[in-house]
Chain A
Amino acid sequence: GEQVEQLPSILRVQEGSSASINCTYENSASNYFPWYKQEPGENPKLIIDIRSNMERKQTQGLIVLLDKKAKRFSLHITDTQPGDSAMYFCAASDQGGRALIFGTGTTVSVSP
């Protein structure tokens, strides 16, 4: 079936540095790409998303990039803080109401 590959699975960074997570997708009809942050014992929370009519989006220390030709999108967390430590999931969907296909997750650990 359709897959979204997410790398790396574990990312350890120093506080204040940036963290980058990359995802690739298979379905060329995919047009919506959200990112979720999930802390232990909590639900996934939508932190940023990008639609296929954009190549770049930025909000509150987060940047997402989309390369439709390469079927690749990425999340960049700038100036990481310990509170950014969590699991991050990318996802993709091709049509409203259809299921999001999730990546396998990245555990981000920010050390002081």
Chain B
Amino acid sequence: GDSVTQMEGPVTLSEEAFLTINCTYTATGYPSLFWYVQYPGEGLQLLLKATKADDKGSNKGFEATYRKETTSFHLEKGSVQVSDSAVYFCALSDNQGGKLIFGQGTELSVKP
């Protein structure tokens, strides 16, 4: 079945460092891809999405490009802030019924 694999955390960075969180997927069809963020004590928020190959999702300085050839959707940010500390989840939807399949989550900690 469909699945999502993320790099393991926790990831600890200094403020203004470059961030990459790897995400790869396995799917039989043409899924939509998502990054969600969960701040401490809060629910999940959609960070960005891409619905087809070569689409780039972007929001709040974060970017991810849907790469069909490498089945990847890596999350990047050029300069992280302490306020970016959270758990990041990569997810896919098979676009039939709206079910989301999540990766295991990657905890990011940004130090001043």
Asked if chains A and B come from one complex, the reply is: no
